[in-house]
Amino acid sequence: MMSSTVKPTYSFSINIKDLKEVTKMRLSLSVVFSSIAGYLLGAEEIDFFILLLLAIGGYCMVGASNVFNQIIERDYDALMERTKDRPIPAGRMSVRFAFILASIMTLAGIGILYVINPKTAMFGAVSIFLYTSAYTPLKTVTPLAVFVGAIPGAIPFMLGWVAATNEFGIEPGMLFMLQFFWQFPHFWAIGWFLHEDYQKAGFNLLPTGKRDKATAMQAILYTVWTIIVSIVPVFGITGRLQLTVVGAIISFGAGLLMLYYAFQLFKKMTSKAARQLMLASVSYITLIQIIYVLDKFLR
C-alpha cells in the first residue's frame, strides 16, 4: 500500500472547480451524450422526462466512478505531472469528503435510473462496479486493464437504448460492440503520448507495454473492427437498429479518417501522431452517434 505524501485538507468547504474536476465533468458529459444518443435511437416516442432522468442519473454514475477512481489512485496521481494537481492528491479535497460525494452520487444515480426501469439501473451499477473494482486496480498490473475498462466504457451507448425500451437485445448489443472496439485505439493513443507519465505511477496500458510497431498495429486492427461494426446495421440484421446506405457511407468515411490517423501512428511512431489519433477517435465516436440519430429521424 502506498502512502500519500500530500497532507489532505479535511474540510467540507469545496469549490465548484474542484467538484467539476473530481467528477471529470467534460468526460461525464460526453458519456451522458452517448446515453442520450442511444435513447433517441431506441425510443419510438421521445419522453423528455425520461431523457432528463437519464442525463442526471447517467452523470451521477459516471461522476461517482471518476471520484472513486481518484480516491483509489490518489497516491499514483501525485506522481504524475498530468494529475498531481487534482483535488485529492493536491490536498484541496479530503478522501472522506470525496468518498461521501461518490457514495451519494452512486445511490442517487442508481435510484434515478431505477425510476426509468430496473434494467437501466442494473447496467449502471455493473458499469460503476467494473470501473472501480476491476479496471482501476488492474491498471498497475496488466495491459488487459484496457479490455476490462472497455466494458463499462461501452455501456452508456447501449444504456440509452435500454432506458428507452426496457429491453436488451441485438440492437443495444451492437451499440455496445461499436463503442467497445472503438475504445482500444482511443485509449492506446492516450497511453502512447502519456506513456512516460504513466510509467511514473506504474500504469501498464499499452498492449505490448511499450511504444512500438506492434502496439500501433493493434490500434489499426481495432479501428478496422470498429469501422466494420459501425456499418453492420445497413444490412438489416440488427432488428430495429437500422442504417440507410447514405448513413453507412458517411459512417464508413468517418471511420476511414480515423484509420488514416492510426496508420500515421504506425508510420511515424510519435507522441504527436498518437495525440492526433486520440483527437480523431473522439471526433469519430461523436460523429457516428450523431449520424446514427440523424439517419433514424431523416430516413
Q: Tell me: do 246 and 206 sit in the same domain.
A: yes
Residue where a domain stops, chosen among 124, 150, 167: 167
Q: Tell me: do 206 and 253 sit in the same domain.
A: yes
Read off the pLDDT of residues 109-119 as tens digits, 9 standing for 90 and up.
999 999 999 99
Q: Is residue 10 part of a domain?
A: no
* Parent domain of 92: 15-167
Residue where a domain stops, chosen among 127, 142, 167: 167
Q: Tell me: do 214 and 287 sit in the same domain.
A: yes
Whole-number percent of the chain with pLDDT over 90: 86
> Please, what is the average pLDDT of the chain?
92
Residue 8 pLDDT more than 80?
no
Q: Is residue 7 part of a domain?
A: no
Read off the pLDDT of residues 155-172 as tens digits, 9 standing for 90 and up.
999 999 999 999 999 999
Q: Tell me: do 23 and 151 sit in the same domain.
A: yes
Residue where a domain stops, chosen among 106, 134, 167: 167
Q: Tell me: do 141 and 187 sit in the same domain.
A: no
Q: Tell me: do 163 and 191 sit in the same domain.
A: no
* Domains in the chain, number: 2
Asked if residues 231 and 240 have their Cβ atoms less than 8 Å apart, the reply is no
- Res. 86 pLDDT band, cuts 50 70 90: very high
Read off the pLDDT of residues 107-147 as tens digits, 9 standing for 90 and up.
999 999 999 999 999 999 999 999 999 999 998 888 899 99
Q: Tell me: do 37 and 151 sit in the same domain.
A: yes
Q: Tell me: do 46 and 149 sit in the same domain.
A: yes
Q: What are the distances in angstroms from CA 75 to CA 6, 69, 136, 243, 246?
A: 9, 11, 13, 46, 50
Q: Tell me: do 92 and 157 sit in the same domain.
A: yes
Q: Is residue 153 part of a domain?
A: yes
Q: Tell me: do 107 and 199 sit in the same domain.
A: no
CATH number at residue 25: 1.10.357.140
Q: Tell me: do 148 and 235 sit in the same domain.
A: no
DSSP character string of the chain? ----SSPP---S---HHHHHHHTTHHHHHHHHHHHHHHHHHH-SS--HHHHHHHHHHHHHHHHHHHHHHHHHTHHHHTTSTTTTTSTTTTTSS-HHHHHHHHHHHHHHHHHHHHHH-HHHHHHHHHHHHHIIIIIHHHTTT-TTHHHHHHHHHHHHHHHHHHHHHS--SHHHHHHHHHHHHHHHHHHHHHHHHTHHHHHHHT---STTSSSSHHHHHHHHHHHHHHHHHHHGGGGS-STT----HHHHHHHHHHHHHHHHHHHHHHHH--HHHHHHHHHHHHHHHHHHHHHHHHHHHH-
Q: Tell me: do 254 and 186 sit in the same domain.
A: yes
Q: Is residue 19 part of a domain?
A: yes
pLDDT (average), residues 279-283: 97
- Res. 5 pLDDT band, cuts 50 70 90: very low
